[in-house]
Amino acid sequence: MSAFLIGAATSAHQTEGNNVFSDCWAMEHMKHSSFIEPSGIAADHYHHFEEDIALLAEAGCNAYRFSVEWARIEPEEGRFSEEAAAHYRAVAEACRRHGLEPVVTLHHFSSPVWLIQKGGWESDETPALFARYARYISERLGKINYLSTINEANMGEGIARAVQAFSASLQVGVDAEAFRARASEAAKENREVFGTPSPAVFLGARTARGNEIIKQAHRMARAAVREVLQGCKVGLTLSLHDVQAQKGGEALAAEEWQSEFCDWLPAVEGDDFIGVQNYTRKVFGKDGELPPPEGAERTQMGYEFYPEALEHVVRRVWHEARLPVLVTENGVAAKDDARRCTFIERALKGVLRCKQELPVLGYLHWSLLDNFEWQKGFQMQFGLVSVDRDTMARTPKESLSVLGRINKEFI
C-alpha cells in the first residue's frame, strides 16, 4: 500500500461519456431539464483513460480516484455486463502499471434508470441491490486498497435544506408562477421516464428515511466489499464546508454542522477512513448564512476562494470522528490556472501541517480533467488538464505540475 496518497479524482458520469442507462442521462435529455446541456461524450475518458492516467503519473502523482458506473455494470436489473466490469478492471490495472494507487468509488451521484423506477434512494430495496452490485464489481477489479462506497452521502440532505429555503423565498408573482408551471411540466416528463412525478434520484432532496436508506446501503456494501477485497480500506465521502460562526451565529452554524457531518457519524462507525470533500467555507451570522466578505475573490461556481477551509475541516473531522481522513476532493473552478496553483499550494500546506499530527491518508484534487459539472455543464473549469471539446485533445496545465512537484519535493 502506498504511503501518503497524492493525486486527482474524477467521476464516471462527468468524464466518460455516453452513460446512456443512467438517470442523469435521462434527466439531461428532458425538455424541462435542470441541466444546461447534456453530458454527451463528456471528456471521452472511457476511451482516453490510459492517456489520462499516464499524465497524472508523469507529473509525479501516486494516486487516482475514479468511479465505477453502476448503470454500465447493471444496465437492467439483474443483468450484469462482464464487458463493463472488464473496462474498470483495465482502469485499475492502468493505475497500477503507472505506479498510481487506484482509489475506487462505487457510486458518484448517477444511478441506473431502473433503480429510480423502483423507488431509487427512498426505497427499502435499494441497500440490498447496491450491495449486490458492490460485490459483483469487487470480485472483478483485482487488488484494490482504497474504496469508498458512496460519494457525498450527505448531498440529498443539503439539497433538501436548499429546496426548503428556496420554496420559502418563492413569492407570489410572475417568477413564482413561471417556476411552478415549469415544475409541473418537468413532473410530467418524470412520470414518463421514471414512472413518478418526483423520482428519488441521488441528486435530489432526501427525506429522513432516505438518509437512513443511504446509510444502510453503505453498511451493506461495505460488508460485501470487505468479504471480497481482503485488507481494502473502505469508507464513504461527505461534502463538508468549513462551518464558521460570527457573533450570534453559533446556533445556526452548529445546526449546519450537525446535518452536514454529525448526522452521518452513525454511518461511518466501523469504517477504515472518512472521505472529506471540501471546496470553501460557510459563515453564519445571527440571521443566517453570510455572503463572502466584501471584495473576496469568488470562483466560477460563485464560492469564496478560501483554500484554508480544508485544514480546518480535516482537523474537525478527525477530532469528532477519530477516523483516518482521506481528502477525496478539494479544488477550485477557475479559468485562470494560476489561481488553481495558488489554491493547491495553500490547501496542501494545511494538509501537510495536519499530517504531522493526525492520521491523514492523502489528498486527491478535484479534478484531473475539465469535465461535466452536472447542471452547470461544461462551463466550469476544475481540471488540472484541459480537454478540447472538439478534438478531445488533452493539455496538462501548470497546476498538474505543481501538484506532482509537491509530492516529489515535500512528501
Q: How near is the Cβ of 304 to ligand BGC at its closest, in Å?
A: 14
23 in contact with ligand BGC (CB under 6 A):
no
3-state secondary structure of 376: helix
Question: What is the smallest separation between the CB atom of 137 and ligand BGC, expressed in angstroms?
Answer: 19
Nearest-approach distance from CB 172 to ligand BGC, in angstroms: 33
Q: Is 260 one of the binding residues for ligand BGC (CB under 6 A)? A: no
Cα 123 to Cα 128, 192, 213, 296, distances in angstroms = 10, 19, 7, 43
- Give the binding-site size for ligand BGC (rule: CB under 6 A): 10
Alpha-carbon dihedral sign for residues 280, 161, 248, 169: positive
Nearer to ligand BGC, 88 or 109 (CB): 109
Residue from 256, 271, 272, 373 touching ligand BGC (CB under 6 A): that is 373
CB of 248 to ligand BGC, least distance (A): 29
Residues 227 to 246: which contact ligand BGC by CB under 6 A? 239
User: Which residues inside 351-370 make contact with ligand BGC, applying CB under 6 A?
Assistant: 366
Provide, rounded to whole angstroms, the least separation between the CB of residue 373 and ligand BGC: 5
Instruction: Give me the residues paired with residue 387 across strands.
Output: 394
What is the DSSP track for 16-82?
A: S---TTBHHHHHHTSTT-SSSS--TTTT-HHHHHHHHHHHHHHTT--EEEEE--HHHH-SBTTB--H
Q: How far is the CB of 379 from ligand BGC (least distance, A)?
A: 12
Q: Closer to ligand BGC at the Cβ: 8 or 245?
A: 8
d(CA 131, CA 146): 17
Pairing of strands 281-285, 288-289: antiparallel
Place of cell 409541473: 184
Q: Which of 5, 6, 11, 52 binds ligand BGC (CB under 6 A)?
A: 11
Judged by CB under 6 A, does residue 28 bind ligand BGC? no
Grid cell, residue 148, equals 469508498
- Look at residues 406, 360, 411 and name the one whose alpha carbon lies nearest to residue 384: 406
Binding mask 150-169 for ligand BGC (x = CB under 6 A): -xx-----------------
Site for ligand BGC, rule CB under 6 A: 11, 14, 151-152, 239, 277, 329, 366, 373, 382
